[in-house]
């Protein structure tokens, strides 16, 4: 290559290298400066702003309400089952008939039972007559005979004693042979024995005879009476009577059909009071007591039916470990019927002048403690741990940790970090208002890139 060529090449290389040495640092400085301005603005714009709804904590009355699903039962119910198997002769009531306690409901065929009862009555009358005879005639006659026998034996003994004494005196005088004295002595011994036997018989009759005779007569009378009562009871089983005041709710059989023993013949219910039975957790049951007011609601009925808690079971249900609760409704609405499934709302306790916040404002942290998010005057959310008291579906009582009139976040507060910048929205708009707002442009929204011109100004002239 010629020197002129090399010189030309060097000059060209110098021309090419100049901008790469002097221009590149300048470009980098400009880029860095622009990046610094842009990055600072970007970081400032990235601070989150969350739109929330807030409501002030207020003093109000709050009630703890325990809700549960329940099934309605009558106050009393009786499923009538006959004790004997027999044909139904006639019914005296129909389904829906009102009955009173002791009223005759139906009669079963009972001719054989009536005959047995009549026979037992005859046997009882016979035993009663025998008892009367024993008391009034039998025992006195026996006593009288025993007394006469004892008196006669005693008189014979005394006579034999006199004969013996007389003959003994004559024998001593030599006027009577020995054999006559011996004969008199034998007669005296026999008379003494007869007198002693008669006396013992009289004494035994006085001590035992009268008592045993009366006992025997009483036993026969009691046996006859028991048989009569048994036959009458068997006859009464053929007459079906109401054990309660109520209404006939079921009567599946008809006259002429066979009624089987221990099988349902009809069902009676006392509907003057109804009981709604529910099962609640033991924690909820601990706050309930007998007499607490309650409301009963059923599907298709707008108005609540008022009642009261009538039973809080003292023991847990072993199968479900829940507590059975009864709510009693006196003079119930005709629309409330046994067997229905209803919703119960029982007021466990009421606190007046309590500090109350909406239920949606109270959250739990990882440790299980309750807290609220307070909308501070610095436009930041602040987490406050609180102690809660009564809860119901709409509100929660704050016992400590919050002051009255402080605004708590009720919407978008769950999971919101502490000291997050917020934008308050005081009240939830109505459905129509929400739709209007959703359809209208947001004046506070930042304009997007399409609304800016090349100079960095938006089309409205704002920076």
Q: What is the pLDDT of residue 220?
A: 84
Least confident residue range of 195-209, 250-264, 400-414: 195-209
| Residue extents of the structural domains in the chain | 62-69+269-425, 82-108+240-264, 111-236
User: What digits encode the pLDDT tens for the residues 82-125?
Assistant: 999 999 999 999 999 999 999 999 999 999 889 988 898 888 88
Angle (CA) 85-253-96 rounded to 5° is 125
Q: Does the predicted TM-score (pTM) go above 0.75? A: no
One CATH from 3.10.200.10, 2.40.100.10, 3.40.50.2300, 2.40.30.170 for 62-69+269-425: 2.40.30.170
Q: Can you give the pLDDT at residue 320?
A: 85
At 92 the three-state DSSP class reads coil
Query: What span, in angstroms and rounded, lies between the C-alpha atoms of 393 and 260?
Result: 53
Which CATH number applies to 82-108+240-264: 2.40.50.100, 3.40.50.2300, 3.40.50.9100, 2.40.30.10? 2.40.50.100
* 12 vs 387 pLDDT, higher one: 387
Q: Are 31 and 37 in contact (CB under 8 A)?
A: no
Q: What is the mean pLDDT of residues 243-253?
A: 94
Class of domain 111-236: mainly alpha
pLDDT tens, position by position, 12-59: 334 443 343 333 333 334 344 444 444 444 455 566 788 888 888 889
pLDDT at 253 > cutoff 90: yes
Beta strands in 12-115 (DSSP E): 49-56, 58-80, 86-91, 98-99, 104-108
- Highest mean pLDDT, choosing among 27-31, 161-165, 367-371, 431-435: 367-371
Q: Tell me the C-alpha to C-alpha distance, in Å, between residue 227 and each of 119, 221, 230, 234.
A: 10, 10, 5, 11
Task: For residues 214-232, give the mean pLDDT.
Answer: 85
Quote the CA–CA distance of 289 and 243 in Å, as a whole number: 31
Q: How far is CA 370 from CA 234, 260, 331, 367, 429, in A?
A: 70, 64, 43, 9, 28
Same fold: 62-69+269-425 with 82-108+240-264: no
- Residue 193 has φ and ψ, to the nearest 5°, of -65, -45
Of 51-65, 107-121, 352-366, 423-437, give the lowest mean pLDDT range.
Answer: 423-437
């Amino acid at each position: 290559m010629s020197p002129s060529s090399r010189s030309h090449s060097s000059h060209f290389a110098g021309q090419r290298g100049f901008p790469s040495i002097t221009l590149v640092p300048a470009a980098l400085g400009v880029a860095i400066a622009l990046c610094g301005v842009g990055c600072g603005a970007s970081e400032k714009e990235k601070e989150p702003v969350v739109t929330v709804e807030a409501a002030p904590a207020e003093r109000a009355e709050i009630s703890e309400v325990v809700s549960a699903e329940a099934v309605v039962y009558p106050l009393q119910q009786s499923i009538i089952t006959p004790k004997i198997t027999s044909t139904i002769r006639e019914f005296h009531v129909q389904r829906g008939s009102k009955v009173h306690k002791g009223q005759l409901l139906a009669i079963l065929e009972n001719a054989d039972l009536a005959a047995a009862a009549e026979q037992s009555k005859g046997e009882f009358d016979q035993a009663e007559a025998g008892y009367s005879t024993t008391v009034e005639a039998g025992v006195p006659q026996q006593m009288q005979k025993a007394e006469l026998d004892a008196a006669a034996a005693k008189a014979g003994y005394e006579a034999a004693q006199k004969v013996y004494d007389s003959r003994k005196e004559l024998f001593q005088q030599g006027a009577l042979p020995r054999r006559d004295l011996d004969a008199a002595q034998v007669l005296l011994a026999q008379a003494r024995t007869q007198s002693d036997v008669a006396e013992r018989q009289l004494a035994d009759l006085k001590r035992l005879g009268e008592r045993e005779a009366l006992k025997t007569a009483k036993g026969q009378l009691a046996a006859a009476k028991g048989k009569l009562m048994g036959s009458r009871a068997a006859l009464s089983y053929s007459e079906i009577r109401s054990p309660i005041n109520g209404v006939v709710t079921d009567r599946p059989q008809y006259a002429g059909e066979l009624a089987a023993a221990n099988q349902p013949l009809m069902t009676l219910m006392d509907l003057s009071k109804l009981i709604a039975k529910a099962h609640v957790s033991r924690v909820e049951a601990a706050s309930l007591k007998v007499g607490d007011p309650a409301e009963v609601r059923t599907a298709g009925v707008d108005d609540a039916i008022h009642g009261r808690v009538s039973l809080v079971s003292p023991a847990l249900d072993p199968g479900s470990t829940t507590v059975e609760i009864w709510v009693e409704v006196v003079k119930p609405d005709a629309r409330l019927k046994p067997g229905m499934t209803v919703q119960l709302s029982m007021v466990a306790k009421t606190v007046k002048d309590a500090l109350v916040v909406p239920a949606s404002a109270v959250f739990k942290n990882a440790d299980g403690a309750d807290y609220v998010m307070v909308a501070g005057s610095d436009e930041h959310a602040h987490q406050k741990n609180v102690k809660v008291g009564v809860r119901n579906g709409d509100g929660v009582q704050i016992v400590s940790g919050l002051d009255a009139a402080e605004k708590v976040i009720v919407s978008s507060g769950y999971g919101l970090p502490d000291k997050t910048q917020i934008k308050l929205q005081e009240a939830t708009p109505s459905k129509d208002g929400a739709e209007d707002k959703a359809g209208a442009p947001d004046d506070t929204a930042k304009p997007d890139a399409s609304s800016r011109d090349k100079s960095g100004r938006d089309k409205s002239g704002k920076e």
